[in-house]
Amino acid sequence: MKDPGSAPLAKKQRFRRAYARKVRTGCITWIRHLKCDEEKPLCLRCRNDGVKCDGYAPTNKGNDQHPTTVAQKSHPLPLTEVSHLLSDVPLERCYFHHFYHWTCKQLSNSPEPTNFWIQYVLPLSHTSEPIKNAIIAVGAAHRFFMAGYDTHSPKRMEFLTTQYNKAVSRIIPHMSIDSIHNIHCTLISCLLFIAFEGISGRYAESVRHLRAGNRLLALPALASNKEGCTMTKKLIEMFSHLSFEATTFMDDAILPDMRQTWSVAQVNANTSLSTTPFQNLDEASYELRQLGLQFAKITKVDFDEASKTSDTLRLPDDLEGKDQDDDADANA
């Protein structure tokens, strides 16, 4: 029985483990449940235990403080600002802008990620003067065409001729140096010249540039280079497509030089075999163009052979004499 006069016993408190927030400043090895003494550059615990010390993670001083300013989201430069880097002439920037937004989509119906003009031609215009001038000329000619302007008027023709002549004069030095980059720039300029002449209605000049480009594709330097294989393959596809379309509507064959076939084989050697599935639409499009080109070559040769054979065929003497008698009776 408790003594009523005695003081009540203090209630024994429950034991609690000491708690502190985990320190995040130890070495990276500490994360693997090894206590770190934070000695730098390598902690003592790792050295004593023979454990490889992974060092310390970079400290972020901004984590313990509330940011006073909000970081501004970066935006890519619009084309109007990029155009200032290309030319100081407002009119040239205007037509370059038109080429990017309108002409590229008219020259190719491919989406922007696979559009040859957007992905390959426009980037080179920042470093290649002839390509830049040719783009401005094509953009101007296309804008005049869409607006229904007369491209043969003296004022507009002067601007087009100036840009065209600049591109031609600046591409000549590229042709004297046999490098892959210069060959690619020359071929792209050739494609732009084809587009310019076609929009302007000078189809004979357009065909002349097409034939010149096909001859350039036969250069051995294109086959021996593997770094520019993607660009070379795209250029072959572009010229094959244009050649096939032109051959369809003309009597003369406008097909890539047969000497180029070994160059094409070298390019195809770096790609997957035809028995494997296509990786993307570009591969399928390329193979389809090559198939159409081969078909055009075969049918064109057969047609030419048939034409030559029909010209050399002669009727037998008895039938030929009968035809002459029939003609005489008809005249009588």
The residue to which tokens 């009540």 are assigned: 8
How does pLDDT run across 267-312, given as a tens digit for each residue?
Answer: 455 444 457 787 777 677 767 766 776 676 666 655 455 555 545 4
What is the pLDDT at residue 258? 43
Q: Give Cα separations from 130 to 89, 124, 163, 171, 326 (angstroms).
A: 16, 10, 9, 6, 66
Cβ neighbors of 195 (< 8 A, separation 6 or more) are 103, 107, 138
**Chain centroid offset of residue 39 CA:** 53
Long-range CB contact pairs, 54-57, < 8 A, 24+: 54/27, 54/28, 54/29, 55/27, 55/28, 56/25, 56/26, 56/27, 56/28, 57/28
Percent of the chain with pLDDT over 70: 53
pLDDT at 191 over 50: yes
Give residues with Cβ within 8 angstroms of 238, minimum separation 6. Answer: 116, 191
**Residue 171: predicted pLDDT:** 92
* Cα–Cα distance, 148 to 150 (Å, whole number): 7
Mean pLDDT, residues 235-259:
75
Enter the tokens of residue 13.
């408190």
pTM of the model: 0.59
Q: What average pLDDT does the structure give for the chain?
A: 72
Q: Yes or no: say if 256 and 296 are a contact pair by the CB < 8 Å rule.
A: no
Cis peptide before 41 (omega within 30 of 0): yes
Q: Who wins on pLDDT, 84 or 191? A: 191
Average pLDDT over residues 89-104: 92
Place of tokens 């708690």: 19
List the one residue out of 265, 263, 259 whose CA is nearest residue 222: 263
Specify the range with the lowest mean pLDDT, choosing from 56-65, 125-134, 137-146, 172-181.
56-65
